[in-house]
Chain A
Amino acid sequence: MFQGEKVFIRPMSTEDLPHLMRWRNNGELAKYIWPGIPTPTPRARQREWYERMLADDSRKVFVICETAGQSPIGIIGLANINTRNQSGYLFIWIGESIHWGHGFGSEAMVIFLGYLYRILNMRRIILEVYEYNERAIRAYEKVGFVKEGKVRRSVFKDGRYVDEYIMSMLKDEYFAKYPTKRWGEESK
C-alpha cells in the first residue's frame, strides 16, 4: 500500500490477528500500551474485533512489515477520527523489542502521516504516550510531533498511576517538513 525503504504498510487481514495477540500480550510491549495487561481473548472475539474495525469509519488499522523479509512487525492506525475537525488519534506498535531502535516506527509514521494529510485531508493528528516511554517520545519528536501538555495521573498501570503526554502534529507542519511533488504536478 505504502512502500518506504525499511518498511511498508499494508491492509490487515485475519491472518495477522495471532501476531497482534502475541505482541499485545508480550511483556515488553505491554508496558507501553493500553491496557497492556495480558488479556486472554478467544479467536472468535479477535475476528469480531477485526470485522468491526473494517466496517468502522472512525478508525483504521494497518500492518507494518519489514521490507527485508516482508514479515509483519507491528501495526499503525488512527482512532477516534473526527471528520468535521479533521483530527484523529494516532497509535503505533512495533511488536518485538528486537525491532526497536532501527527507525522502523519513525519511517512508518512519516509514510502513514502522508496518507492521513494528503489523502484523507486530516489536519491535526494527536497521540498520547506514557511519560516514561522516553524512546517513543524522542522518536515522535524526531518525526515532528510536539508536546502539548501533560495529563497527570491519568492511567492506572502496573500498580500505580502514571502521567501521559499529549502530542500533536498539524498538516502545515507536515507539509513544511516533508515537501514532495503532488500527483499530477508538472516537474518544474
Chain B
Amino acid sequence: MIQGKYVRLRAVEPEDLPKIVEMFNNPEVSIPLGAAYLGMALEQEEQWYANYLKGEDQLGSLAITDRLTGEHLGQIGFNQISYKNRTAVIGLFLAPVYWGKGYGTDAMMALCHFGFTQLNLQKIQLNVFAPNRRGIRAYEKCGFQIEAVMRQHSYVDGRFADDLIMGVLVEEFMPIYGRYIGSE
C-alpha cells in the first residue's frame, strides 16, 4: 500500500469508474489534462479498465483515497516508466472539492517516494500547462524544477499555451521528502 500523510493510493476497482468518468467530464478537471477525456462515456472507461487489468502492473493509474474516510479523491500514476533510464512521467488530478487541502501535494510526495525508493528511479518528470499556476506551485513544493518551455505547444481553452516540462532528481527529492514527513 502506498501511503502519504493524508492519502492512500490503491488500485482502481470497477466501482470507481463512474466517479472517474464524472471527474473527466468536469471541464475544470479535464482542461488542465489537455481535455482529451472531456466527453468520455462510461462505456469507454470500461474498455480502458479491461486493458488496465491486463497490464503488467497498475502503476499507470491509482486511485487517490482519503486515509481516514476512504473517499475517492482523484487519480495519480506513472505514465511511462523507463527502467533503462530509471525515469518516469507522473500525472495526477483531483475532483475540485478536494483542491487546496494538500491532498495533491501529499499524493505526489507519496508516489514520488515510492518511485525513488521502490522502483529505483533516479528522475521523475511531468508536463504542465503554463496557466496552471496552482499545479506548478504544488510541483515546486515537491522539488520539481522547470526544465523546458515548449512554446505555444497546446491549444487550451481558446488560446495557445506554453507547455512546461518539470523534473526532479532523487537526490533533490529525498531531503524535501524528509522535511515534509517530519513536519506536522
Residues of A within 8 A of B (CB): 1-2, 10-14, 51, 54, 60, 62, 115, 117-119, 121, 175, 182-185
Contact = CB atoms under 8 A, between A and B. Distances in A.
13 contacts: A11-B25, A11-B42, A62-B39, A118-B158, A119-B27, A121-B155, A175-B158, A182-B156, A182-B157, A182-B158, A183-B32, A184-B133, A184-B156
A183 B31 contact: yes
Most buried by B among A1, A54, A117, A175: A1
Contact of A11 (B26, B35, B40): B40
B159 interface: yes
B157 A184 contact: yes
B157 A54 contact: no
B43 A183 contact: no
Interface in B121-172: 129-133, 155-159, 161
A10 B156 CA distance: 21
B2 interface: no
A10 B25 contact: yes
Contacts of A62: 39
Given A2-B27, A54-B44, A184-B131, A11 B158 contact: no
Contact of A54 (B38, B41, B132): B41
Interface string B27-53: 110011001001111111000000000
B157 A118 contact: yes
